[in-house]
């Protein structure tokens, strides 16, 4: 008698698919993962990507050139600092040209011969909130020892400006300089990477009297 072919035992619960999960039968592949959208490329015209930082000069690898250092008194609306340390100041003899209101250094060898024409001064190194350096020429008390409120108040403000930001203005009615301090804390100043010798050379380039034949002295004597 012919043998009937055997069929897998199918249970009603597996809907006829039980044979697919018998040992040795390959598993069904997992469903494909959902596609992840790729990020949008950065917009080269985004203002945030184009805006300069506060320290943009350092990021560009450039260094500000110090080509001019004015010799002047601090402005009445200018916050400034004085660099502390004896290596950042000098007491010397100067000549002040009234015509162009410029200050000239005078070679030491001429001081005695130009007595009465030159006068002693203290030159200090300053910087303002914008980072602009300048030299402040302060007059010194005379040899007679008489008090001068303009000189004394300026020297006092300069000493205070070594450790704190200061602003000064002439009080014409009282005959001295008023000093002002900020009401909020201000960051420390940023000083140029230059030596005091370089600062002096830049500030007084072309304004050094080193001979009695200097045009200013000849003009003073009536020789020209």
pLDDT tens-digit readout, 39-80: 888 887 788 877 776 666 556 566 677 889 999 999 999 999
**% pLDDT > 90, the chain:** 62
Mean pLDDT confidence for 103-112: 95
Mean pLDDT confidence for 110-123: 93
Residue 130 lies in a domain: yes
Tokens of 92: 């010397």
Domain count, the chain: 1
Residue 36 lies in a domain: no
| Whole-number pLDDT of residue 41 | 85
Residue 3 Ramachandran class (φ > 0 left, ψ -120 to 50 alpha, else beta): beta
| Whole-number pLDDT of residue 32 | 79
Residue 23 scores a pLDDT above 70: no
CA distances in angstroms from 67 to 19, 35, 146, 172, listed in the order given? 92, 61, 39, 35
Containing structural domain, residue 167: 80-221
Output the CA torsion 211→215→218→223 (10° steps). 140
Residue 84 lies in a domain: yes
Work out the end-to-end distance of the chain between its first and last CA atoms, rounded to an integer number of angstroms. 149
Reported pTM = 0.71
Residue 160 lies in a domain: yes
- Let me know: does 125 contact 66? Beta carbons within 8 Å: no
- Let me know: does 136 contact 124? Beta carbons within 8 Å: yes
Residue 152 lies in a domain: yes
Residue 21 scores a pLDDT above 50: no
- Let me know: does 8 contact 19? Beta carbons within 8 Å: yes
Mean pLDDT of all residues in the chain? Answer: 86
Residue 14 scores a pLDDT above 60: no
Residue 51 lies in a domain: no
């Amino acid at each position: 008698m012919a043998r009937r072919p055997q069929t897998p035992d199918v249970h009603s619960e597996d809907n006829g698919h039980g044979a697919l999960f018998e040992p040795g039968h390959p598993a069904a592949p997992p469903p494909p993962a959902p596609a992840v959208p790729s990020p949008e490329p950065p917009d080269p015209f985004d203002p945030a990507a184009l805006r300069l930082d506060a320290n943009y000069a350092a990021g560009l690898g450039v260094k500000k050139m110090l080509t001019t250092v004015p010799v002047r008194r601090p402005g009445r609306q200018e916050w400034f600092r004085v660099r502390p340390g004896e290596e950042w100041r000098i007491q010397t003899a100067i000549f002040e040209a009234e015509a162009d209101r410029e200050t000239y250094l005078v070679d030491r060898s001429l001081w005695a011969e130009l007595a009465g024409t030159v006068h002693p001064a203290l030159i200090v190194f300053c910087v303002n909130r914008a980072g602009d350096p300048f030299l402040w020429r302060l007059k010194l008390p005379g040899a007679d020892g008489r008090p001068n409120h303009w000189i004394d108040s300026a020297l006092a403000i300069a000493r205070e400006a070594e450790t704190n930001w200061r602003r000064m203005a002439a009080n014409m009615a009282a005959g001295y300089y008023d000093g002002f301090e900020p009401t909020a804390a201000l960051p420390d100043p940023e000083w140029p990477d230059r030596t005091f010798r370089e600062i002096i050379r830049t500030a007084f380039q072309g304004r050094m009297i080193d001979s009695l034949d200097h045009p200013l002295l000849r003009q003073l004597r009536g020789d020209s």
